[in-house]
Amino acid sequence: MGRCLEMHGAGTVIEIESAVVSYREDIALRDVSLHVERGEFVGIIGPNGAGKTTILTIVNGLGKLLSGKVTVMGMKITGNGQEVRKRIGYVAQAENIDPRMPMSVREVVMLGRYGQIGLLRKPGRHDWELVDEMLELVGMSHLACRPIGHLSGGEQQKTAIARCLAQEPEILLLDEPTASLDWKAQTEILGLVKLIHASKSLTTLFVTHDLGSLPISCDRVILMKNGRIWGEGSPERLLTDQNLGRLYDMPESAVREKRKEAVFA
Ligand code: ATP
């Protein structure tokens, strides 16, 4: 029992040390250090352009460090980080898909398996079973054969989550996954993400710029501004109207109004 707990228990899975990232003259990250423990659900919040997405790109090996160091699941990220990316699921915001796209929901979820099975190999029975299990988990089994371009934004995001789970990731990166969804779909997706995080023992980073979709039930929040970590701690301590007003350069009264709309308020 003790050994089991040790293997699946705490331990740092993401270590970012003094990361500096710049895109020509734009500095996206200025000396950012962040440690994330196995099993943590971390919300990264801040205004547009704060550097939130850039944090996700350096974790999954797609960002280029000017200086600093990133280690994920014990592997130092150098080059393109392809190996580590197989173990990281990524869901971005819903985008318009061409309604003529000739793929079914089930086939799109199978795309998540190719990192494991290899691009030129055919999926086996186990792969299809896993795909169907993930569709069931996100409540999309009834739409499995529908063309991917014929889904609502919320259904599309459930499919994206199923595709990412089919990859059997250990880390889940979510970049504004509820942006452009209506209130009901936002609530459903956030609930699903929390459920999956817990049931699959994942480590999750959830990025949003939107005060209305603050994941206030996360274990820890990171507040970002101008490429720096501006605040870090428990949601109860950090997500005060006063702090958020200073973070977004908004009057506290405007923050209060905005938070009334919050999905997880
Ligand atoms: P948002 O909430 O708008 O998505 P963000 O906090 O995720 O913003 P990033 O996307 O990480 O912010 O961008 C941080 C900074 O880096 C911004 O100033 C942005 O303009 C710049 N930037 C990001 N990607 C690129 C790129 N590919 N080329 C040039 N500049 C970029």
> Is the predicted pLDDT of residue 7 greater than 80, yes or no?
no
- Cα–ligand 1 centroid distance for 158 (angstroms): 26
Q: Copy the structure tokens of residue 19.
A: 């990361």
For the CA of 57, the nearest atom of ligand 1? 11
pLDDT on residue 8: 40
Which distant-in-sequence residues (6+ apart) come within 8 Å of 203 by Cβ?
13, 14, 36, 37, 38, 39, 40, 170, 171, 172
Query: Exposure string (b/e) for 107-135, b if CB count within 10 Å is 16 or more?
Result: ebbbebbbbeeeeeeebeeebeebbbebb
Model pTM score: 0.90
Whether 23 is in the pocket of ligand 1, judged by its Cβ within 6 Å, is yes
Strand order in the sheet with 67-72: 26-37, 12-23, 67-72, 75-76
Q: Is 257 in the pocket of ligand 1 (CB under 6 A)?
A: no
- The reported pLDDT for the residue numbered 149 is 92
What are the residue ranges spanned by the domains of the chain?
100-168
Q: What percent of the chain has pLDDT over 90?
A: 63
What mean pLDDT value characterizes the chain?
88
- Give me the pLDDT at residue 25, please: 82
Task: Determine whether the shortest distance from the Cβ of 22 to ligand 1 is under 6 A.
Answer: no
- CA of 175 from ligand 1 middle (Å) equals 12
> What are 116-149's pLDDT values in tens digits?
888 788 999 999 999 999 999 999 999 999 999 9
